[in-house]
Amino acid sequence: MAAERLIYVIDDDPAIRRSLERLLDAVGFQVASYATPKAFLDVAGSLVGGCVLLDLRMPEMDGFEVHARLRLINPDLPVIVVTAQGDVQTAVRAMKAGAVDFIEKPYSDDALIAAIESALKTGAEGRADDIARAAALINTLSPRERQVLDALVAGKQNKVIAFDLGISVRTVEVHRSRMMDRLRVHQFAEAVRLLVLASFAERV
C-alpha cells in the first residue's frame, strides 16, 4: 500500500475508530488508529505520507494541542479535523492553525472520503490553488452578502445580524441564500471553509 494512501485516525471512541477502519479500508485506504493523542504523537515523527483525521474533543489532550505538537514534529502531514455540528468558531480556529479541512459531525461517508482525497492531493501548489479559488468566489459576493457571511461566521444569530445591519430577519435570510448560491455551496460549513481560505490570500 502506497504511503500516500495511509490514514491516521486519532479518536478516543473505539466504536468510531472501528467504523472508520471498516469504511476507509473498503474504499482502498490503509488505516492506522490511535486511541490516545500520546500514542499518536509518540510515532508521529516517523510517519511518511498520508493524512491525519483528528477528533478535536478528547479527554487527555484536545485536538488543538495535538495539532500544534504535530506541526512541530511532522509539519508536512495534512490534517482534517472533526468538529461538532455548527461549531463554526472551532472550524475557523482549526483552519487558521493549519488544518487543511474540517468535517462536521454527523458527516456522510461521501463527504469524509471527498475531504480525505482532497487533503491527500494538497501539496503547497494545491493549497495555493484552493486559496486562489476561494478568494475568487468570495469576491463575487455583494458587500451586504459579505457582511452577512462575516456575521454568521462570528457566531451571530439572524435576528442579531438584522438589528446590526438595520434590515429584517427575512432580508438576512435572502442574503444568506444568495451568498450560498454565489459560493456554489450547499452547507454553511463549506462557506466557512472558503472564507477562511480566502483570508490567507488577503495576507499575501
| CATH code of 115's domain | 3.40.50.2300
Helices and strands: H and E segment counts in the chain: 10, 5
Kindly indicate the confidence band of residue 1, based on its pLDDT and cuts at 50, 70 and 90. Answer: very low
Domain that holds residue 192: 131-202
Per-residue model confidence (pLDDT) at position 122: 67
Distances (CA, A) of 147 to 48, 96, 143, 152: 42, 20, 6, 9
With a CB cutoff of 8 Å and minimum separation 6, the contacts of 120 are 4, 5, 50, 51, 78
Q: Is 51 contained in some domain?
A: yes
Q: Are residues 74 and 162 in the same domain?
A: no
**Domain end (from 77, 105, 122):** 122
Q: Residue 44: is its pLDDT beyond 80?
A: yes
Q: Are residues 150 and 102 in the same domain?
A: no
Per-residue model confidence (pLDDT) at position 4: 62
Q: Which helix or strand (DSSP H or E) is residue 7 part of? A: strand 6-10
Per-residue model confidence (pLDDT) at position 203: 56
Q: Are residues 116 and 19 in the same domain?
A: yes
Q: Are residues 76 and 148 in the same domain?
A: no
Q: Are residues 43 and 142 in the same domain?
A: no
Return the CATH number at 147. 1.10.10.10
**Domain end (from 98, 122, 146):** 122
Q: Is 187 contained in some domain?
A: yes
Per-residue model confidence (pLDDT) at position 201: 77
**Domain end (from 99, 122, 145):** 122
Q: Name the pTM for this structure.
A: 0.78
For the chain, the domain total comes to 2
Q: Is 116 contained in some domain?
A: yes
Q: Is 1 contained in some domain?
A: no
Instruction: Give the residue-averaged pLDDT of 8-24.
Output: 92
Per-residue model confidence (pLDDT) at position 57: 84
Dihedral, CA atoms, 120, 68, 188, 14, nearest 10 degrees? 80
Residue-wise pLDDT tens digits, 127-168: 678 888 899 999 999 999 999 999 998 889 999 999 999 999
Q: Are residues 137 and 117 in the same domain?
A: no
Instruction: Give the residue-averaged pLDDT of 10-33.
Output: 92
Q: Is 163 contained in some domain?
A: yes
In angstroms, the CA 166 to CA 158 distance is: 12
C-alpha cell at 2: 502506497
Kindly indicate the confidence band of residue 196, based on its pLDDT and cuts at 50, 70 and 90. Answer: confident
Q: Are residues 91 and 152 in the same domain?
A: no
Q: Are residues 118 and 52 in the same domain?
A: yes
